[in-house]
Structure 1
Amino acid sequence: MAKQGRPDAYDRIVKRYYGFVRLKASSYFLIGGDSDDLIQEGLVGLYKAVRDYRTDRESSFRNFAELCITRQIITAVKTATRNKHTPLNQYVSFSQTPAAATDSEPTLDEVLPGPEAHEPSNQVISSEELSSLVSCLSSVLSDLESQVLSLYLDGYSYETVAEKLECDTKTVDNALQRVKRKVGSHIDSRNVLN
């Protein structure tokens, strides 16, 4: 009946198999998702089982549904872990930080120098500026600020940085704000390219 499109029949099947879908989903981990996403994938597998089940085959609907649910969940997990998606799963925006949403302080991409032009003189100056910035950072940043900046630039979220350094996210945010101010002061004091 569910195959013919009767919503009440499909709802009964979902109620009957929902526990199995949850149990199956709890055995897997989805990068960038949570258990509800895996349950949703399992329900998609159940839908496909209803759609594709053929009574002329020797398998029972229960076995077919379990196979479809499991395969759908495994496909979702494999798709999420493909290297193709790594840049998106690890993306950290320099143009939007939690602090930037609440105040008018510049973001990291506004503070860090960018390529001005491809002229050799500007490239030499940029190289010198980078050396100067690295030297400045190593001398004016505290150990905490250096660690926070390094982890943040490696792509970790505020929460992950806080966990790794065993502090709270406010401490991480404050450290990055101090880094931005120090880098901005250093760049303003040099002001070679402008």
Structure 2
Amino acid sequence: MPGCIGNVKLVKERDDRSKYSRRLSVLTIPEYRLDRFLDLSDEQIVQLGRNGDKDATDYLIYKYKNLVKLKARAYFLIGADREDVVQEGMIGLYKAIRDYQQDKAMAFKTFAELCITRQMITAVKNATRQKHIPLNSYISLNRKAFEEDSDRKYVELATIDVISDPELVLIKKEEYNGIEDKMGEILSAFEWEVLSLYLNGKSYVEIAKKLNKSVKSVDNALQRVKKKVEKQVFDCTIV
């Protein structure tokens, strides 16, 4: 009997702010229905999907879902579940399949990466506008992008409205390679320890317990970290 693999379908549902948000539901389909795509280029498969071949779209989503998960590791959105970031990335992938134009002289994979990243950043910007989410910021420091590449880390949240939207700190890795080293100088030992634990997925409660501090102390430390990062980024942009 043929094996089965995950087939991801986007489903619309209305959230509590009366806006549509997309969620992922996982189905299964036989592998033999996807075998016919193995010898085709991504660009050819995209065209098949445009022509109504649902299996073609499913194949591309399955093929690139691990790329989405890999990118989601490098993006850290405070106030949201990690799976939410993955879901946003999958929406970006779906949009890439929908909007790709082969005549633009860009490979589909490159276009897909751009759409995935853009969707994740958009999610961060939208989250910062929700007043009920505490400590909205997007920080990715000391976080390895690829397990097999120990030298590549994301100090990457880029430059959007640092002054007008101070809850969002975006640092371009290409422009601010020195930020990571500078953080070691401007953060206290406690702040650095709190940040490191937080970036490793620990909750406020877990950090407080590990460091024998109150949850309030942990929250205050992360607030100070955010302000110091904002100041550092601003100082770099006006040099």
Name the TM-score class by shorter chain: 0.3 to 0.5
Structure that is richer in strand per residue: 2
TM norm structure 2: 0.37
Structure that is richer in helix per residue: 1
Report which structure shows greater RCO (CA 8 Å, sep ≥6). Answer: 1
TM norm structure 1: 0.45
Larger Cα-atom Rg: 1
